[in-house]
Homo-oligomer: A and B are copies of this chain.
Amino acid sequence: MGKNKNKNKVEAITPRDVDFARWYTDVISKTELVDYSPVKGFMVIRPYGYAIWENIQSLYDKRFKETGHKNMYFPLLIPQSLLTKEAEHVEGFAPEVAWVTKGGDKELAEPLCIRPTSETIICSMYAKWLNSYRQLPFKYNQWCSVVRWEKTTRPFLRTSEFLWQEGHTLHETAEEAQEETMQMLNIYREVAEKALAIPMVVGRKSEKEKFAGAAATYTMEALMHDGQALQSGTSHNLGQHFTEAFDITYLDRNNELVHPYHTSWGISTRLIGGIIMVHGDDNGLALPPAIAPTQVVVLPIVMHKEGVLDKAYEIKKMLEKHFRTEIDDSDNSPGWKFNEWEMKGVPIRLEIGPRDIQNGQCMLARRDTGEKIAAPLDALDEHVEKLLSDIQQNMYDKALAMREEKTSTAVNMEEFKQNLSDNPGFIKAMWCEDPKCEEAVKAETGATVRCIPFDEDQEVIGEGKCVCCGKHAHKMAYFARAY
């Protein structure tokens, strides 16, 4: 990295509370996570951003495989005739797909769309593959990119192309499909909470917000520092909507020809946006150790003094056996380096100078708290391991406290609006489940139903009356403005 180019880099980040949107844009560009490409709405994921994605990917992929899923790859392009087979689905996606109309020099007889999601093409093949109940369940997943033509875009949060995974399963019974839908939602949540250190609210989407073609959509929702929600992963019980439309049948245990039950589920590079907006601060990124591309950066202090660099390399070599470790031996000033690696969100900065060496120790600075701790060079790896795990936990706890602070309840629209303006965040309120109330709330406040929590997480707010119409309501829902 060019020295001059980076000077005063950190100073250039807009303070988070002055302008959250600009702060976000500053952080992602100055830390070189992404860049804007020559194609409007499409992002370039730079190596530092991609390394975070690789870590997220490998954690989820491991869980998918442990639960019996296998990866596969389907074509990028989907014939128009397939996309239009399931009525709700085409209505939901047709307005936002990109169309290929020419291949080589020739106009195509039928336009092909770039997959916005792959239910349709996958179902067309599942119909061919499935014959007998003995083959079920089908538990397959693919990692790929999808394209949805968006008007307003923001890197990671909403872009015309993004990276994701899409699981697609078939089952003998409705119960099994529902179990799978829940299992994947739970895996999404567990990894997000444990590795990304982002607490999640989970529940069902309203009819209006569910996936085009689903029987039910379940979601995990996170709260960002500016009080807006981020839909972070969805798991769909698709019932038999697609398996009927695509005529997927098999001979069941009674030798009858029936349609299987179907699920799909996805998480995407959007999660990186969540990490930034939950954990970042005025100094830049703060990355949870579990997904940080660099967990420890070693900074030799007074580098030219004999023995310092050697010791720093020795420490790096020892630590990199267990942790993702880098050393910064550039000729930038220590102050510059502190700022740079802080901005990059590296969980631990390890400083080692002549005096430290004399004392058989080094200094460990935590990104999450700023605290500096002297650590003996003996058993340094155990120290670092313990510290990384403390940081991971502390980041989750802080994020949870932040969310709780920004979560309120409302019993009527007045209170609802007051809360949104005084303390933007999640609002827990009763809802009669009438789409008219949902639309009225959105029109008046910009907030949407993020999810209806599962029974075990339900509460009665106030006297159990719909926040909008005042009629008796069975369900509490989370409302928020959302990305």
The interface of chain A, by Cβ under 8 A from chain B, is: 1-5, 35, 37-39, 42-47, 49-51, 53-54, 70-79, 82, 95-105, 111-112, 114, 121, 124-125, 128-129, 131-132, 134-135, 140, 144-145, 147, 149, 160-161, 163
Contacts and interface: CB of A to CB of B under 8 A. Distances in A.
A405 B46 CA distance: 47
Given A5-B132, A72-B44, A101 B102 contact: yes
A44 B132 contact: no
Main secondary structure of the interface of A (DSSP, over half): mixed
A47 B35 contact: no
Nearest to A53: B73
Nearest to A144: B145
Contact of A135 (B2, B51, B72): B2
Given A39-B78, A73-B163, A76-B161, A1 B135 contact: yes
A43 B104 contact: no
A111 B103 CA distance: 12
5 contacts: A2-B132, A39-B121, A47-B70, A47-B140, A114-B114
A91 to B, nearest CB: 13
Contacts of A39: 75, 77-79, 112, 121
Scoring A53, A114, A163 by chain B CB atoms within 10 A of each residue's CB, the highest score goes to A114
A99 B102 contact: yes
B54 A134 contact: no
B103 A101 contact: no
Contacts of A44: 72-75, 125
Contacts of A147: 76-77
A135 B46 CA distance: 15
Top 5 nearest A-B pairs (CB, nearest first) are A42-B75, A2-B132, A47-B70, A99-B102, A45-B73
A104 B149 contact: yes
Given A38-B124, A44-B73, A114-B76, A97 B101 contact: no
B114 A105 contact: no
A144 B50 CA distance: 13
A5 B129 CA distance: 11
B97 A104 contact: yes
B51 A70 contact: yes
Contacts of A77: 39, 42, 98, 147, 161
A50 B38 contact: no
A39 to B, nearest CB: 5
Contacts of A71: 47, 50-51, 54
Given A73-B45, A161-B75, A128 B95 contact: no
Contact of A38 (B70, B82, B103): B82
Nearest to A160: B103
B98 A72 contact: no
A68 to B, nearest CB: 11
A297 to B, nearest CB: 16
Given A50-B72, A76-B161, A38 B97 contact: no
A114 B100 contact: yes
Contacts of A135: 1-2
A3 B75 contact: no
B100 A104 contact: no
